[in-house]
Every structure is written in C-alpha cells, then in structure tokens.
Amino acid sequence: MSEDNQEMRRRLMVLFKNHAEMVDAYISKFGMEINMKNVQAIRAEFPGVGDAIPAPAAEGTEMEPAPKDATEVVFKFNSKALTTPSVDPTLESPLYPRIVDCPICKKWGINSQELRAKSLSTLSDPFLAPVYATTGKFQSINYLLAGVTICHGCYLASPDRKDFVLYNRTTRQNQDSQLPPQVIRELKETIEKRKAFFDKTGIGEELFKIPRSYAAAIVAYQFADIRAEIEANAKVLGAYYKRGNYWTRIALLCRQAGMDDKRALSIAADHFKNAFMLSDFPKMDLEFQTIYILFNIFMYFDKQKDARDYLAVLDKTRQELEKKDAPPEVQAAARKWLEMGKNRWDDRDNPNFWKTPGL
Ligand SMILES: [Zn+2]
C-alpha cells in the first residue's frame, strides 16, 4: 500500500471508530478519496456500528453534530450576555481602527479594529481559545468582543482583515480580498440568507458597536462561520479548521457570559473532526494541535475512550514521522502536542482541570 493510501486508511479507521469492515466497504465502493457524503452512505449501510449510533447517555452528556446549515443555530442569550464589560476610560485603548472596504457589496469605510502590539497578554482556555488580559498600561478589553470585522451591507464577516479590501499605506494602493472568486460569487448570491439570519438573531445594531456585547460577539463569530461554511463547500484549504476555531471562541464567549458552552463545543468538535478526516490543514502542526483540542473536547463530554483514541492516533503519527525521517521541526511539534495531551490525561483529577483563566 502506498503511503498516501495508508494515511487515508488511518483516517478512515478513526472515522469509523476502528471498524475495519466499514473501512474495507468504503474503499471497495468509493476508492481512495474521502468524501463526507460517501462516509454517510457507508454509515447507513452499517446501522448500529461505529459512529452510526449515538453513545449511551451513561457515558456522559450527549454531543450533537453541527447543523447542516450554519444559519440554523440561534442562541437564547441571558442578561449578562447582552452587556458589554466596562473599561477604565483613563487608560489608552489597545485597539486602533483600520478602515476596510467590502469585496461583496462594495460598501466602503467599514470599521475594523486592530490590536496594538503587546497591548494585551493572552492565555488559553482548555480548548486553546484565547483569553485576553491587560498588561497594565492599556484598557482591559476582551479582544473576542472586537476582533471580527463585519460589513453592515451584506454581513460578510471575518476575524482576518485580509478577507476584506485593505488600503496598503506603503504602496498607497488597495489590496484585494484574499477570498477566492468562487467564494466571492457565492457570498454575493447569499446576502438575503445572511440578512434573514441577522433578523432571526434579534441582535440589531449592537452587532456593529465595538467592543461588542458577549451576545453580539457570538453572533459576529457565527457570521464568520457562515462565510467559512461557503469556503468549506468550495474546498478552500483550512476552512474546517477555521470553523472549529470560531466555535471554540463562541464556546469561550458563552462561558464568559455565564451561558452553557456544550452546544458550541460539540459543533467545534464536528468541524475539527472534518478537518482531521480531510487533512484540511495549511500546516502540519495544526493537525497535531487539532487532535489535542479534540482530545480535550471529548474529555469535557466525559468520553474518555474517544479522547484516548485521538491521543493514540497522535502517538502513531509521531512514530510514522520518525520512521520516514520527517523534518525535525515537524517531529518536534508532534512530540510536543502528544506530551501536552499525556500531561492533560495525567492531570484529569485536578479540581482546576477545566478552569478558564479569569473565570
Ligand atoms: Zn458587504
């Protein structure tokens, strides 16, 4: 078997929870390319095996799959979520405005807020979402409440400013959006759908005030996810990885607002699983990091067996990288994430195991 085929088999084994008969059925029917539609078809052929049935409730809180359409998730916000944390007005803001234009509806002068270098320090929550803290000199602003840029004409949203049209001060020229033409076309055709989602959330103009309330920030990341869903359908590299990360940030915002974070984390897990199965990573170490995040999400849902399966996959990957003499930095990254996972496992009885910094 070629190396690529082995790699594909390994992914299918994870996907079908080590049911080799499902992997064999997949390969004989669909060949050596992973496609989620085909995966579903094989699952349907093996009712009650592998991922096809939900785990019994006794194993822990149920994880629910991500909805087929990103606009289906509408949160009920509590009163804290509707507030914007206050800041010390005597201190300097860590944010500074960058004006961008929209590549979809051509609206110009959209308010985007960049973070001043070294103005905030960051820690991570257990799922590697960033928790911002002041370094003392600047206002303490949770950048998650400010980091997503949204067009008020068509609801294009992204925490990556390069998705918009940027003015480059050095060349004194506009720099085009990095979004591929196919994605731009699709975004133009779906403006009404995003408008309908905006109305459904009831968030109103709060979405465009920066810093936002927790609720508005959650909706802002949902709009970013709606964009990334279009990227995923267009097979843009890294789209599922981005979606997973948007949802771990939504989960963190839910926790910071005193809301339940389980739905957001199970959606994150679904996107990270897709990223892993499709090997959808711009850099290899992001795959190791993703396995580490999945390990933590499964632990959170008390699914220790699944969690350990992912660590085992990472250990196997590490061994294979050593065997085929992969670049030393790639091997080091695999070892680092595996070590972190093992340490987490050993630490699992620590009462602070799930502590989010600042909460
Ligand atoms: Zn627009």
Residues 127, 293 contacting (CB under 8 angstroms): yes
User: Does residue 278 sit within a domain?
Assistant: no
pLDDT of residue 9: 84
Same domain, 229 and 101: yes
Q: Is the pLDDT of residue 54 over 60?
A: no
Same domain, 213 and 81: yes
> How far is the centre of ligand 1, averaged over its atoms, from the C-alpha of 151 (Å)?
5
Domain residues for the domain of 88 are 77-259
> How far is the centre of ligand 1, averaged over its atoms, from the C-alpha of 332 (Å)?
42
> How far is the centre of ligand 1, averaged over its atoms, from the C-alpha of 99 (Å)?
13
Q: Which residue has the tokens 């349907």?
A: 44
Same domain, 94 and 47: no
Taking CB atoms within 8 Å and a gap of at least 24, the contacts of 13-20 are 14/276, 14/277, 14/309, 14/310, 14/313, 15/39, 15/50, 15/51, 15/273, 15/277, 16/42, 16/43, 16/49, 16/50, 16/51, 17/50, 17/51, 17/309, 18/309, 19/46, 19/49, 19/50
Same domain, 130 and 13: no
| 3-state helix vs strand vs coil in the chain, percent to 5 | 50, 10, 40
Same domain, 239 and 106: yes
> How far is the centre of ligand 1, averaged over its atoms, from the C-alpha of 238 (Å)?
23
> How far is the centre of ligand 1, averaged over its atoms, from the C-alpha of 146 (Å)?
18
Residues 40, 52 contacting (CB under 8 angstroms): no
Percent of the chain whose pLDDT exceeds 90: 75
> How far is the centre of ligand 1, averaged over its atoms, from the C-alpha of 340 (Å)?
41
> How far is the centre of ligand 1, averaged over its atoms, from the C-alpha of 256 (Å)?
30
Same domain, 94 and 220: yes
Percent of the chain whose pLDDT exceeds 70: 95
Same domain, 48 and 143: no
Q: Is the pLDDT of residue 301 over 70?
A: yes
What is the rounded CA–CA span in Å between residue 195 and residue 207?
13
pLDDT tens-digit series, residues 200-238: 999 999 999 999 999 999 999 999 999 999 999 999 999
User: Where is the domain boundary, 203, 226, 259?
Assistant: 259
> How far is the centre of ligand 1, averaged over its atoms, from the C-alpha of 164 (Å)?
9
What is the rounded CA–CA span in Å between residue 230 and residue 187?
8
User: Does residue 140 sit within a domain?
Assistant: yes
User: Does residue 30 sit within a domain?
Assistant: yes
- Calculated CA dihedral for residues 79, 84, 85, 87, nearest 10 degrees: -160
> How far is the centre of ligand 1, averaged over its atoms, from the C-alpha of 157 (Å)?
9
Q: Is the pLDDT of residue 339 over 80?
A: yes
**Which pLDDT band holds residue 56 (cuts at 50, 70, 90)?**
very low
> How far is the centre of ligand 1, averaged over its atoms, from the C-alpha of 107 (Å)?
5
User: Does residue 59 sit within a domain?
Assistant: no
User: Does residue 276 sit within a domain?
Assistant: no
> How far is the centre of ligand 1, averaged over its atoms, from the C-alpha of 159 (Å)?
15
pLDDT of residue 16: 83
Same domain, 227 and 132: yes
User: Does residue 277 sit within a domain?
Assistant: no
**Extended beta strands in 9-137, E state:** 95-101, 110-115, 120-124, 130-134
Taking a 5 Å cut-off on Cβ, the residues next to ion ligand 1 are 102, 104-105, 107, 151, 153-154, 156
- How many C-beta atoms lie closer than 10 Å to residue 184's C-beta? 17
Q: Is the pLDDT of residue 52 over 60?
A: no
Spatial neighbors of 28 by CB under 8 A, at least 6 apart, are: none
Same domain, 39 and 149: no
Domain count, the chain: 3
